[in-house]
């Protein structure tokens, strides 16, 4: 009876590293092209002109359908490269990175795993919607709720490039407040949501078993390209159509969501809470909150509502929540949404006192 030839131990060890290295290479090249190089150049513009462009909310049509098409066109033109990269990385993380590696780093339901999720997000610098497909891929590999949420929220909130732009455009006091409140948002919300999802956490015995056994074998023996193609299509189909529809809906709704700004929009609690809610649900490209807030401050908006928007606009959004509807339970997503609104409003109140 003939047995199939097996790789020698040294070859198996080399093969185990090739796929993860390929993932890192794809991620590095993609992020350099989409994020690192453009943001490096934009930092000089921010330092020189104290601006990174016009507000994406400026000159909105008054008719909802026109507003929807206008906003969707501007928005997708700004983010399409990052969205493609997000889907690509979200599919590749499922077929190139060994599951036991992911579980060792991000599988525990605790503070350490959550902190690592936030730290690994920092080079990504993606908006919440572009990071969502990567998070969906991580969750399909059974990464813990806390680590996946920290990765998702830290991408836009603690984006190093955005913080630099913010310092040059709005002032370093705004950037410092964003860092402090951002860390609280990333770590605090993720840990609380992890506790809410404890019933869905991967048992420690399962983590130990996967770690001891090494990565799981190919799920059905198909060639790599076929397995990757299946993951890519599944991820695209479950995230992108609802993303497009939600962006169009919010583009139309901006006619009512963002009223005309004037000096009457001071630092009242009502405006702070209202804009924290709107900012949590609305969708913007990476760093677009900076020109939005800069424009609104110049028109007379109080610093409290402005900071509420500065915290919540990038954090999460209705489209990104819908994109992750199969990755987290409704209870977890509701918890994240309400806590984001609360921290945004609290940040606005703190800004009234400190800024």
Q: What is the full DSSP assignment across 213-232?
A: H-SPPPSS---HHHHHHHHH
In eight-state DSSP terms, residue 50 is S
Q: With the C-alpha atoms ordered 184, 187, 190, 194, is the resulting torsion angle positive or negative?
A: negative
pLDDT at 6: 46
Let me know: does 167 contact 175? Beta carbons within 8 Å.
Answer: yes
Encode pLDDT of 28-82 as tens digits.
999 999 999 999 999 999 999 999 999 999 887 888 899 999 999 999 999 999 9
Domain membership of residue 8 (yes or no) is no
Tokens of 306: 């402005």
Tokens of 99: 């599951």
Instruction: Flag whether pLDDT at 276 surpasses 90.
Output: yes
Domain membership of residue 49 (yes or no) is yes
Q: Which domain does 249 fall in, by range?
A: 18-354
Instruction: Flag whether pLDDT at 22 surpasses 70.
Output: yes
Domain membership of residue 113 (yes or no) is yes
Comparing 215 with 320, the larger pLDDT belongs to: 320
Domain membership of residue 104 (yes or no) is yes
Distance CA 310, CA 163 (A): 11
Query: Please, which pLDDT band fits residue 218 given cuts at 50, 70 and 90?
Result: very low
Let me know: does 136 contact 327? Beta carbons within 8 Å.
Answer: yes
Helices (H), 96-215: 99-106, 111-121, 128-140, 145-157, 160-169, 172-183, 189-196, 204-213
Query: Please, which pLDDT band fits residue 205 given cuts at 50, 70 and 90?
Result: very low
Q: Number of structural domains, the chain?
A: 1
Domain membership of residue 350 (yes or no) is yes
- Give the whole-number percent of the chain exceeding pLDDT 70: 89
Domain membership of residue 9 (yes or no) is no
Torsion on CA atoms 182, 184, 189, 191, rounded to nearest 10? 130
- Give the whole-number percent of the chain exceeding pLDDT 90: 78
Encode pLDDT of 220-258 as tens digits.
578 888 999 999 999 999 999 999 999 999 999 998 888
- Tell the burial category of 124 from Cβ atoms under 10 Å away from its Cβ (0-12, 13-18, 19+): buried
Domain membership of residue 13 (yes or no) is no
Poorest-confidence range of 116-125, 196-205, 331-340?
Answer: 196-205
Domain membership of residue 237 (yes or no) is yes
Q: With the C-alpha atoms ordered 104, 107, 109, 113, is the resulting torsion angle positive or negative?
A: positive
Poorest-confidence range of 138-152, 166-180, 188-202, 241-255?
Answer: 188-202
pLDDT at 244: 96
Tokens of 189: 């919300």
């Amino acid at each position: 009876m003939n047995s199939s030839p097996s790789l020698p131990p040294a070859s198996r060890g080399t093969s185990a590293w090739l796929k993860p290295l390929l993932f890192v290479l794809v991620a590095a090249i993609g992020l350099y092209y989409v994020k690192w190089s453009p943001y490096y150049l934009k930092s000089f513009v921010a330092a020189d002109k104290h601006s990174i462009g016009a507000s994406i909310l400026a000159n909105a049509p008054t008719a909802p359908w026109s507003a929807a098409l206008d906003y969707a066109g501007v928005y997708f033109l700004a983010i399409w490269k990052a969205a493609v990269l997000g889907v690509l990385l979200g599919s590749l993380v499922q077929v190139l990175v060994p599951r036991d590696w992911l579980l060792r780093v991000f599988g525990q339901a605790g503070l350490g795993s959550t902190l690592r999720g936030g730290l690994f997000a920092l080079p990504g610098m993606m908006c919440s919607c572009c990071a969502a497909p990567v998070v969906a891929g991580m969750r399909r590999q059974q990464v813990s709720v806390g680590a996946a949420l920290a990765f998702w929220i830290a991408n836009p909130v603690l984006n190093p490039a955005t913080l630099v732009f913010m310092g040059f455009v709005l002032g370093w006091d705004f950037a410092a407040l964003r860092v402090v409140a951002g860390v609280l948002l990333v770590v605090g919300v993720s840990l609380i949501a992890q506790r809410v999802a404890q019933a869905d956490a991967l048992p420690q015995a399962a983590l130990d078993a996967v770690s001891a056994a090494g990565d799981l074998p190919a799920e059905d023996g198909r060639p790599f390209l076929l397995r990757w193609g299946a993951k890519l299509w599944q991820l695209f189909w479950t995230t992108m159509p609802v993303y497009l529809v939600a962006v169009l809906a919010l583009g139309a709704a901006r006619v009512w969501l963002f009223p005309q700004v004037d000096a009457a929009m001071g630092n009242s609690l009502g405006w702070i809470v209202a804009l924290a809610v709107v900012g949590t649900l609305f969708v913007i490209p990476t760093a677009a909150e900076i020109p939005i807030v800069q424009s609104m401050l110049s028109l007379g908006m109080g610093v409290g509502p402005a900071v509420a928007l500065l915290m919540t606009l990038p954090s999460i959004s209705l489209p990104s929540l819908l994109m992750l509807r199969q990755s987290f339970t409704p209870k977890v997503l509701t918890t994240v949404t309400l806590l984001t609104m609360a921290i945004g409003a609290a940040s606005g109140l703190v800004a009234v006192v400190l800024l």
